[in-house]
């Protein structure tokens, strides 16, 4: 794969045997003027960089697993307008077989109006095929077309779903969550899967920490409303191989979307492919959070996700989905906890967050989780990452520290997003790759 020396486009490959995934982040070129350029001009610039990368590496739109467009918008009206602009631009340039493998997230990227996260797939085994598909689903008398990708071999099916959500009643989190899960379940059912096949998902929620009141005057937090709806779908008993890895994160427009650039549903009859939940010894599992962490008069369901989830391919390659991770751990080192460390101190929170991720994916912790890795694993094993920053004035501090820890060529995006606990100032999620030997 030909690498691009331009820092506006960063690329990492991860080889999983039958296929490899290519993770790319793209930002507009010409730093001095990119804040002056319109959203449409910046979108064209990013897509032209992707087009050039395709041409240089003999790739086509059929290699696209997903594209997420991160948007700097002020409200739902601008969000919808920019989604339409981007959709026109990408269809003009790539002639996608299914336009719905593209997702849109109202999270402002660092110093620009748009940034792209792209995941590509290259099949390396003639017995494996990748297909881009669509499904039409009706919810509340409205039709939705959902695009997704299927990687399929004789005994294994991997499903990548992009842009699940409903585009009405944006501020009604009950309605939004109900619609999103209805559609998600319909896609899974079409491919012979259930909700328990989900390995990883990213949950974007408009105004995530806002507390509202119901008609009876009881307080409800939007994130907790979502947790209750998630619990209705996941059930109240932990799945045999653990809940999905997940991120619950805010955005400033667009309602609720379950996006899946790094989400995957997996169904396998091949004993060589196994799934493992991974805990962090310094953190209480989120599905075991105490009631003091939940917000609202009727809050009852803890967030049902794991700190990380790993897929082991044929006792050779390991892919680790790192859930949204923040500055939470026990008061003492080595003591599991749910306390926020560094309240009001973004520098402290970045360091603790990175330490949490490094411990989570470490060789020792993977071994303790049942994955016998015989080599060191650290933050340089990340092949993709997204960093959420609550306050834009903290961008520079967060980026400076992250650059000390991460490899220079890591495809990474920094975005503004409200995190799901009021004291959190930032959060990081990612994908890591290692080998058994």
**Pairing verdict, β 308-313 and 245-251:** unpaired
What's the alpha-carbon Rg for the chain, to the nearest Å? Answer: 20
Phi, psi of 62 (to 5 degrees): -70, -10
Q: Is the pLDDT of residue 155 over 80?
A: yes
- Total structural domains within the chain: 1
**Pairing verdict, β 256-268 and 164-165:** antiparallel
Between CA 112 and CA 395 the distance in angstroms is: 13
DSSP letter for each residue of 229-286: HHHHHH-SS--TT-PPEEEEEEESSSSEEEEEEEEEEEEE--TTEEEEEE--TTB--G
- Give Cβ neighbours of residue 350 (< 8 Å, ≥ 6 apart): 327, 397, 398, 401, 402, 426
Which pair of tokens denotes residue 268? 């396998």
pLDDT given at position 215: 81
Which pair of tokens denotes residue 416? 């503004």
For residues 173 and 248, the answer to whether their CB atoms sit within 8 Å is no
Largest CA distance in the chain: 61
- Give Cβ neighbours of residue 306 (< 8 Å, ≥ 6 apart): 242, 243, 244, 245, 246, 277, 278, 279, 285, 286, 287, 323
Q: What are the Cα distances from residue 226, in Å, to 65, 222, 245, 289?
A: 27, 6, 16, 16
Indicate whether 384 belongs to any domain: yes
Structural domain span for residue 392: 9-435
pLDDT given at position 216: 85
pLDDT given at position 35: 63
Which pair of tokens denotes residue 140? 């509340």
Indicate whether 4 belongs to any domain: no
**What is the average per-residue pLDDT within 166-189?**
89
Angle subtended at Cα 430 by Cα 350 and Cα 287, rounded to the nearest 5 degrees = 85
For residues 429 and 247, the answer to whether their CB atoms sit within 8 Å is yes
Indicate whether 387 belongs to any domain: yes
More confident position, 198 or 93? 198
Please return the burial class of 72, using the count of CB atoms within 10 Å of its CB with bins 0-12, 13-18 and 19+: buried
First to last CA, the chain: 24
Q: Is the pLDDT of residue 201 over 70?
A: yes
Q: What percent of the chain has pLDDT over 90?
A: 69
pLDDT given at position 1: 44
Indicate whether 55 belongs to any domain: yes
- The string of pLDDT tens digits covering residues 385-411 is 999 999 999 999 999 999 999 999 999
Q: Is the pLDDT of residue 31 over 60?
A: no
Indicate whether 277 belongs to any domain: yes
Indicate whether 3 belongs to any domain: no
Indicate whether 2 belongs to any domain: no
- The string of pLDDT tens digits covering residues 328-352 is 998 877 788 899 999 999 999 999 9
pLDDT given at position 2: 41
Between CA 319 and CA 310 the distance in angstroms is: 5
Indicate whether 323 belongs to any domain: yes
């Amino acid at each position: 794969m030909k690498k691009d020396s331009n820092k506006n486009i960063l690329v990492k490959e991860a080889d999983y045997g039958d296929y490899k995934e290519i993770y790319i982040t793209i930002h507009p070129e010409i730093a001095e003027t990119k804040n002056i350029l319109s959203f449409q001009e910046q979108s064209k610039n990013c897509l032209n960089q992707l087009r050039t990368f395709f041409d240089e590496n003999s790739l086509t739109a059929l290699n696209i697993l997903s594209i997420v467009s991160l948007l700097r918008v002020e409200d739902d009206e601008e969000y919808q307008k920019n989604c339409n602009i981007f959709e026109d631009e990408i269809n003009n340039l790539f002639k996608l077989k299914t336009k719905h493998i593209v997702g849109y997230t109202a999270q402002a990227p660092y110093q620009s109006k748009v940034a792209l996260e792209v995941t590509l797939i290259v099949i390396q085994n003639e017995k494996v095929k990748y297909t881009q598909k669509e499904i039409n689903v009706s919810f509340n008398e409205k039709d939705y077309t959902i695009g997704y990708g299927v990687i399929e071999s004789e005994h294994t099916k991997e499903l990548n779903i992009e842009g699940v959500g409903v585009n009405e009643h944006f501020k009604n989190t009950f309605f939004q969550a109900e619609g999103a899960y209805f559609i998600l379940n319909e896609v899974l059912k079409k491919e012979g899967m259930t909700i328990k096949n989900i390995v990883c998902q990213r949950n974007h929620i408009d105004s995530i920490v806002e507390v509202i009141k119901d008609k009876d005057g009881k307080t409800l937090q939007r994130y907790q409303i979502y947790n209750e709806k998630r619990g209705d779908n996941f059930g109240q008993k932990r799945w045999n191989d653990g809940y999905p890895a997940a991120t619950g994160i805010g955005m400033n427009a667009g309602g609720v979307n379950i996006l899946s650039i790094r989400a995957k549903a997996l169904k396998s009859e091949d004993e060589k492919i196994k799934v493992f939940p991974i805990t962090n010894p310094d953190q209480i599992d989120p599905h075991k959070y105490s009631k003091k962490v939940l917000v609202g008069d009727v809050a009852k369901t803890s967030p049902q996700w794991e700190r990380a989830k790993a897929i082991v391919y044929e006792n050779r390659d390991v892919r680790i989905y790192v859930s949204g991770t923040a500055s939470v751990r026990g008061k003492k080192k080595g003591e599991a906890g749910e306390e926020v460390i560094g309240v009001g101190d973004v520098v402290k929170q970045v360091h603790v967050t990175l330490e949490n991720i490094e411990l989570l994916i470490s060789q020792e912790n993977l071994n303790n989780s049942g994955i016998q890795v015989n080599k060191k694993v650290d933050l340089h094993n990340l092949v993709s990452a997204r960093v959420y920053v609550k306050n834009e004035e903290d961008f520079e501090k967060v980026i400076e520290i992250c650059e000390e820890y991460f490899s220079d060529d890591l495809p990474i995006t920094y975005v503004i997003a409200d995190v799901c606990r009021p004291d959190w100032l930032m959060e990081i999620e990612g994908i890591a790759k290692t080998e058994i030997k």
